[in-house]
Amino acid sequence: MAQGAGRTIAQVVGVVLLAVAVSAFLAVAAVRHGFFDLQVYYGALTWWVHDGGEIYDYLRPFTQYGFTYPPFAALVMLPMAYVPWLVAIVISVTATVAVTVVLFWWLVDPIARRAGWTRWFALAVALCLAAAFEPMRETVNFGQVNMLLLFLVAVDLLRLLPAGNRWAGVGIGLATAIKLTPGIFIVYLLVTGRWRAAFTSMAAAAGATLVAAALFPDASREFWTAALWNTDRVGELAFVSNQSLRGVVARLDPEHPSTLAWLVLVLGTMALWAWRSRAAASAGDEATGLALTGAVMCLVSPVTWVHHLVWLLPVLILLVDNAMAAPARGRRRRLLLAAALVGYGLLVSRIVWAWEKDFTGLDGFLGSNTYVWISLALLAFLPVRRTTPAGSAAEAPGVPQLDEVDGRAPAGERHRVGGAFPVR
């Protein structure tokens, strides 16, 4: 009892110290954006609801930024027009924190159970580290919706699809109706042959879009015929915050970025993703499917601002998961933990901003695209863990071992987030 109490006290002290250290880091390193994007949403909805303007005509004063999401997103955000600004901030931050806690519980808890860690302690440490993660702190400081969309997709891929639930796909469809880029998860379902979930997601996206069109016909017509195609409202493609393949190409020649070069890169990246995603689906590894598709979405989207890279969080967590499933003193565990540490460290560091004003030269090419290189490496090398027939071999309870050749879990292991480990 005394030993257990001592361990708990040590863990509480450790979490408090880590939280203080992260808070100090954020106080020094975090850029304050004043909920800029949330101000755009709030201003556009207020202009639309109370001032009689068209939502897609609104521009935040002294900027070229306006509401860029589909009309269904406006419907979802509509209550924001009826609350004070400070309440809108509280709702935005609270919602982001809440879905992050749930998502991290799904991803981190299996690692803690297999490794024998105290589960609340593992979750608390992971959340503290996430708070320092640049895309996460940018999401919160901008008042963005990234984590909410990631959560909707994760509900489908981590909970409903593995359980064979007939509603699997609805979350992906709603996320796509709110912001078009999660539509790549519909492609993921098609590529991996989950036809029912794919058609459910398409029906959900279409249904939500039609509901918005019926309620707001003028706004819908404006979005689909004009606002969607107005790229000036999004921002400069060569801006260093655009950590996509399109951004890489644009920074090579900001005045005349090559569309052909970008399309070739996109096709090659999509081919790699399709091959790896099919392997993950065949292995029953839905978490890796989520992670790989989130990474490729960031790469092939024309614009991937730094805050969009919260979609890389599942990949980094799964690197740790695979490392802890490998032999304790093996080279594979050290390699995977080192990869997770390096990736996380760079994505905390704001390193790309060192080339914000000048991204010319070899150092500019390599440094200003650091987050793109990380996304590509994670897409290419995140291990896939394979489901094998029950009872084909024995392993230590709760401690899956990775095959040293291909990194896939041997007999009895299934990477089903939130499920029992191992599956026998």
- DSSP secondary structure, 356-423, as one string: SS---HHHHHHHHTHHHHHHHHHHHHPPP-----TTSS---TT-----TTT----TT----TTS-SS-
In the chain, what is the straight-line distance between the N-terminal and C-terminal CA atoms, in Å?
Answer: 33
- pLDDT, average across residues 55-72: 91
| Residues of the chain above pLDDT 70, percent | 89
Kindly tell me if the per-residue pLDDT of 370 is higher than 90. yes
Q: Is the model more confident about 390 or about 257? A: 257
Kindly tell me if the per-residue pLDDT of 42 is higher than 90. yes
Kindly tell me if the per-residue pLDDT of 105 is higher than 60. yes
Kindly tell me if the per-residue pLDDT of 98 is higher than 80. yes
One-letter amino acid at 10 equals: A
For the chain, the average pLDDT equals 89
| Contact between 37 and 144 (Cβ < 8 Å) | yes
pLDDT at 216: 95
- pLDDT, average across residues 283-301: 97
pLDDT at 231: 65
User: What are the Cα distances from residue 71, in Å, to 29, 215, 297, 314?
Assistant: 36, 9, 22, 29
Kindly tell me if the per-residue pLDDT of 416 is higher than 70. no
- pLDDT, average across residues 144-151: 97
The per-residue pLDDT for range 200-240, each reduced to its tens digit, is 999 999 999 999 999 999 999 999 998 888 766 666 899 99
- The H helix count followed by the E strand count for the chain is 18, 0
* CB count in 10 Å sphere of residue 295: 26
Residue 392: pLDDT band (50, 70, 90) is very low
Name residues whose C-beta falls within 8 Å of residue 270's C-beta, 6 or more positions apart in sequence: 296, 300
Q: What is the largest CA-CA distance in the chain?
A: 69
Distance CA 107, CA 130 (A): 13
pLDDT at 345: 97
pLDDT at 233: 63
The per-residue pLDDT for range 330-348, each reduced to its tens digit, is 999 999 999 999 999 999 9
pLDDT at 230: 75
The stretches of 226-351 forming alpha helices (DSSP H) are: 245-252, 259-282, 286-300, 313-325, 331-349
* CB count in 10 Å sphere of residue 204: 22
Distance CA 357, CA 378 (A): 27
Distance CA 10, CA 41 (A): 44
pLDDT at 402: 39
* CB count in 10 Å sphere of residue 423: 15
Long-range contacts of 250-254 (CB under 8 A, 24+ apart): 251/359, 251/364, 251/365, 251/368, 251/369, 252/365
Residue 2: pLDDT band (50, 70, 90) is low
